[in-house]
Chains A and B, each alone.
Chain A
Amino acid sequence: MKKISEEDVKRLAKLANLKLSRGELNTYSKQLTSILEYVDQLNEVDTSNIPSTSSTAGLENVSRHDEASNKQKIKELKHLKIVNKNGKNYFLVKRIL
C-alpha cells in the first residue's frame, strides 16, 4: 500500500504549482493516503487483459479543415481589456530573470 508522506505532498505540490502551508502538508498527507488506501480495492480485480476506456462518445479522429472562422474569433484587443487586471491591451507576467 502506498503511503503519501509530507515529502511526497511537497513534491506533488511543486509539480502542480501549488504553495502549501506546513499544516496543509500534514493534512493532505493523511487524506491522500486514506483515499489511496480506499482505491487499493481495485487490485481485487484482474484487469491484465482488459482494454482501457478513455472516452464513451464512440467518436474517432474528429477533424475539420484548418480554416479560421470569423464567427469563432474573439476580438483579441477587446478580449485583453476585459480579462486583464491592468485594463490595458497586454498581459502582465511575473519577471523571470
Chain B
Amino acid sequence: MASLEQNKEVVIIKYNAGNIQSVWYALERIGVNAVVSDDHDRIRNAGKVIFPGVGEASSAMHYLREREIDKLILQLKQPVLGICLGMQLLCAHTAENDTACIGIFDEQVRLFKPSDGKEKVPQIGWNTLYDLKTPLFEGIDNGAYVYSVHSYYADLGTHTIATSNYIHPYSAALWKDNFYGVQFHPEKSAETGERLLKNFIFTIK
C-alpha cells in the first residue's frame, strides 16, 4: 500500500454531527488508522483532514464557532475532504435555517424542491456521477454509483468537479485549492467510495 507522508496523521474532525464512526471504519478498511479529534494543534498538523457530517447546519455551525474550528478550517493548508453536511458547511451559506457557513466555496446550498410533487425529499439512495474532474475521481468512471442522503444541495458552479442529477443537476463534489467536498457518502458507497477515499488519502497532495 502507498504510504502517507511519514508521521502525518489522518484526522477526522470531531464535532456534533454524526457518521464519524462510519468514516473511521471505512478508512480502516483501506488500511488507514485515523484519529478523531477536535484539538486544534492536532488538526493543524495533520497530513489529511476529513470533515464529516450528518445533521443540521445551524447547530453544527454553532458548535464549530464556539470552538473556533470554523476559523481553523479556513487556515488549513493540507488536503481537506468535507463529506455531506461537511461539504455544505465549507460553502458560504446554506438555506438550511439561513445559516452562514465557513466560506471556502461560493456555491449556494439550497433545498430540493420537487418539480411535480413526485420526487421525494430528502434524496435517499444510489445515484450516478458524471463530469468527473481532478485526481479525487481517478479510476472512477462516469456513471459510477454513490450513496447519498440529503435535502439540501450545492448549485453547479466554478468549483464543481462532479455532477449528479436529482430533480435537476447539482454539485456532487466541489474543489478549491486544498479543499474538496463530496455531497455523497464515500464511506457507504461500496467500491466507488473506497476508491475515492484511497485517492484522497494516497494520491492527493
Q: Do A and B make up one complex?
A: no
